[in-house]
Amino acid sequence: MTEKQHITIKGVKEGLVFLLDDACDFSALLAELQYKLEKSHQQLLTGPIVHVQVKLGARVVTEEEKERIRAIIRARGNLLVQSIEGEAPPVPVVDSRENLKILTGIIRSGQTVEHDGNLLLMGDLNPGGTIHCTGDIYVLGALRGLAHAGKDGREDVVIAASLMRPTQLRIGEVISRPPDEWMTGDAMMEFAYLNEGVMQIEKMTHLNRLRKEPLLFRV
């Protein structure tokens, strides 16, 4: 196993709590979970039935991924998974002085959305779809197309998504490198921003570093 531990197992009155790192690759998380249950925690995980709560942090997982977690834990006959829960996704922060546009649905291939201000898409941006905004772009879904924030040249804007898998990102005049050069295996809850003219990708939980005094949506 690697030195960095991505899973912490804690005993509580009700049984056990598994705290899962929300920043590492999902496959690495599963591998460590299996290792801990099979190799390093046999004493703790033997005996009568033990109830288990799994905490995902800010990680967003599908039902199939939850089932993969359950399957590994169920392999230990005495463990009973009671819940697999994550934190509520962070509320995107937007300067309320900006003109905020909220869209619901899917932007499909060949479709382009342009907006003067910030845009919140509650849905997916598909490959071949495009968003151009003068302000921030927030996608509460999969971002798989082209997103251009700060189209008027602003560089203090961000592009955020529940799933970051773009064909291209642009902030101001800066265009992202080809996605396969910077995308990680775990692209959940990430945002792009400029740091000294270079595009960077961070987890959404770090957004408050840029927005020291955030103002929530005023809708």
Looking at mean pLDDT, say which of 72-76, 125-129, 176-180, 206-210 comes out highest. 125-129
Q: 10 pLDDT exceeds 60?
A: yes
The verdict on residue 66 lying in a domain is yes
Last residue of a domain, one of 85, 112, 140: 85
Is the domain of 122 the same as that of 70? no
Distance CA(207)–CA(201), nearest Å, equals 10
The verdict on residue 62 lying in a domain is yes
Is the domain of 46 the same as that of 109? no
Kindly state the average pLDDT of the residues 107-133. 95
* pLDDT score, position 189: 86
Q: Of how many residues is the chain composed?
A: 219
The verdict on residue 77 lying in a domain is yes
The verdict on residue 91 lying in a domain is no
The verdict on residue 185 lying in a domain is yes
Is the domain of 113 the same as that of 190? yes
Report which DSSP code applies to 22.
S
Q: Is 212 buried (19+), middle (13-18) or exposed (0-12) by CB count in 10 A?
A: exposed
The verdict on residue 93 lying in a domain is no
Q: 94 pLDDT exceeds 90?
A: no
Report the number of distinct structural domains present in the chain: 2
Is the domain of 205 the same as that of 145? yes
**What type of residue is 158?**
V
* pLDDT score, position 88: 57
Is the domain of 133 the same as that of 156? yes
pLDDT digits (tens, 9 = 90+) for 34-60: 888 877 666 666 678 888 999 988 787
Is the domain of 111 the same as that of 204? yes
**Worst-scoring range by mean pLDDT, 88-92, 108-112, 162-166, 191-195?**
88-92
Is the domain of 147 the same as that of 205? yes
Looking at mean pLDDT, say which of 43-57, 63-77, 143-157 comes out highest. 143-157
Kindly state the average pLDDT of the residues 184-205. 84
Is the domain of 29 the same as that of 68? yes
Range of the domain at 174: 100-209
Last residue of a domain, one of 31, 60, 85: 85
Instruction: Place 181 in a pLDDT band, splitting at 50, 70 and 90.
Output: low
Is the domain of 104 the same as that of 18? no
Q: 143 pLDDT exceeds 90?
A: yes
* pLDDT score, position 214: 42
* pLDDT score, position 86: 80
Is the domain of 40 the same as that of 14? yes
Is the domain of 196 the same as that of 118? yes
The verdict on residue 131 lying in a domain is yes
The verdict on residue 36 lying in a domain is yes
**What type of residue is 48?**
P
Last residue of a domain, one of 62, 85, 108: 85
**Worst-scoring range by mean pLDDT, 41-55, 108-122, 186-200?**
41-55
Instruction: Place 216 in a pLDDT band, splitting at 50, 70 and 90.
Output: very low
Averaged pLDDT score across all residues of the chain: 83
The CATH number linked to 177 is 2.160.20.70
Beta strand extents in the chain (DSSP E only): 7-12, 15-20, 50-55, 79-85, 100-107, 112-115, 118-125, 130-133, 137-143, 146-149, 159-164, 168-171, 174-175, 188-195, 198-203
Is the domain of 79 the same as that of 138? no
